[in-house]
Structure 1
Amino acid sequence: MNLTGNKLGNSVNLLSDVLQNPHCKLEILWLIDCGVTDESCASLASALRSNSSHLRGLDLIGNKIGDLGVDRLCTGLKDPHCKLEKLRLSDCGVTDEGCAALASALRSNPSHLRELSLSRNKLGDSGVKLLSAGLEDPHCKLEKLWLSDCGVKDKGCAALASALRSNPSHLRHLDLSWNKIGDLGVNRLCAGLKDPHCKLEILWLRDCGVTDEGCVALASALRSNSSLLRHLNLTGNKLGKSGVKLLKENPHYKLETVYC
């Protein structure tokens, strides 16, 4: 069901009541830019906790639910009955406090969440560190993480690298586009890419302030025997010919696509 762009507000509570009905088989619900509030998030969490819940995908992009809304939503994510696999919270006014709640949910047993989008929230390095702590937990099964335009810098990259080195690490897709992580951030991230436990296959670093120096670090990671990286996006960075050559002209890399 796609209700994008409708000003539902707290009437989402009525919809949540329906989701708890044993006859309801709804699996995907889009509520993009619907004026959803933190109060509505509490109602949605109640639906996720329902024994009859079939919901697998929930999209709340563009709703200013803030950290309180995320915290209330996470009470549902932690419940054993919750089967949610995809959650999109881009541009929702989330900060590091919301990341702490999400990290706790990712550590829950069992955690079914496989895809999480937090793009265009002001998380900063502190928020990413908290989130990475959840990624390192054995119960976390997250495979795709979007963090574009989140104020991430090099310290946040170091935390993510630690998560990529965790055993087991399930992360396959990481988007850090439009974060000014620079070459230092890329270098720290590559420490995780080189680890045998790292399963990352897709890495987006669009417009991240990367130069040829960062390409050297990436090339080193790609040469490692354990590298599984297949798709790399570096468009919008100030790369010279030498940096592009490092990434595109080595036949030993496993890369299938590289955008510079």
Structure 2
Amino acid sequence: MEEFDLQKFKKSDECLFRLLEVLKISIRAVLNDCNLTDESCTNLSKALGSDNNLIELNMSKNNLLDSGVIQLCTGLKTCKLEILKLSNCALTEKSCSALASVLSSDSSSLKELDLSNNTLRDSGVKPLSDGLKNNFKLEILR
């Protein structure tokens, strides 16, 4: 399946949970602006950590919070995701350490990361910068 778009269904954590198997066989997952919370990140992390086809994941404009992204990063370390969009997700500098560990992982395939319109601050950008030192795959950072 080329694209899974949660906007075509009931936009909620529960609906995403019920459709995770569909998401796993998709190449692109469009989950932006779907009323998702950190609860979805726990389930997504498990899906990303298992066999899946996802190359692009757009979770922008959801209230994921730092706790959600930290959970999500567990699954990101072992998947082949190339594009991750987390714009406007109420993230702070606390998310940056978890994202930095993904970026510095040898198994990371991320080529594009969008963290725009979050409150990362200088204290968050520092660990991200450190995580990028040995990452030659990332081409776009927003």
Structure 1 equivalent of residue 58 of structure 2: 59
Alignment of 1:127 with 2:124, yes or no, is yes
Distance 1:16 1:140, change over 3 A: farther
Verify the 8 A CA contact 2:37 2:64 in the aligned structure 1.
yes
Runs of 4+, deviation exceeding 3 Å: 17-20
Structure 1 equivalent of residue 44 of structure 2: 44
| Matching of residues 229-244 of structure 1 within 5 Å | none
- Please list the CA deviations of residues 109-134 of structure 1 after superposition, one character each: whole Å capped at 9, or x if unmatched: 21100100011100111111111111
Matched-pair identity in %: 48
Q: Which amino acid aligns with 2:47?
A: A
Stretches of structure 2 lacking an aligned partner (at least 5 in a row):
none
Verify the 8 A CA contact 1:74 1:101 in the aligned structure 2.
yes
Shift of 1:45: 1.0
Alignment of 1:77 with 2:73, yes or no, is no
- Please list the CA deviations of residues 71-128 of structure 1 after superposition, one character each: whole Å capped at 9, or x if unmatched: 011001112xx11000000000111110110001111121100100011100111111
Q: Distance in 2 between the 1:135 and 1:145 partners?
A: 10
Verify the 8 A CA contact 2:6 2:16 in the aligned structure 1.
no
Q: Distance in 1 between the 2:38 and 2:57 partners?
A: 15
Verify the 8 A CA contact 1:61 1:91 in the aligned structure 2.
yes
Structure 1 equivalent of residue 5 of structure 2: 2
Q: Which amino acid aligns with 2:56?
A: G
Shift of 1:4: 3.6
Alignment of 1:17 with 2:21, yes or no, is yes
Distance 1:140 1:9, change over 3 A: same
Q: Which amino acid aligns with 2:44?
A: L
Q: Distance in 2 between the 1:106 and 1:36 partners?
A: 24
The structure in which a higher percent of residues are helix is 2
Q: Distance in 2 between the 1:140 and 1:96 partners?
A: 23
Shift of 1:17: 3.4
| Matching of residues 178-193 of structure 1 within 5 Å | none
Alignment of 1:103 with 2:107, yes or no, is no
* SS at structure 1 position matched to 2:84: strand
* SS at structure 2 position matched to 1:87: strand
Stretches of structure 1 lacking an aligned partner (at least 5 in a row):
147-260
Q: Which amino acid aligns with 2:6?
A: L
Alignment of 1:145 with 2:141, yes or no, is yes
- Please list the CA deviations of residues 42-74 of structure 1 after superposition, one character each: whole Å capped at 9, or x if unmatched: 1111111112x1000000110010001100110
Verify the 8 A CA contact 1:28 1:58 in the aligned structure 2.
yes
* SS at structure 2 position matched to 1:41: helix
Q: Which amino acid aligns with 1:57?
A: E
Verify the 8 A CA contact 1:30 1:58 in the aligned structure 2.
yes
Q: Distance in 2 between the 1:11 and 1:39 partners?
A: 12
Q: Which amino acid aligns with 2:84?
A: L
Shift of 1:140: 5.0
* SS at structure 2 position matched to 1:71: helix
For CA contacts below 8 A with separation 6 or more, give which structure has more relative contact order. Answer: 2
* SS at structure 2 position matched to 1:32: coil
Larger radius of gyration: 1
TM-score calculated relative to the size of structure 1: 0.50
TM-score calculated relative to the size of structure 2: 0.90
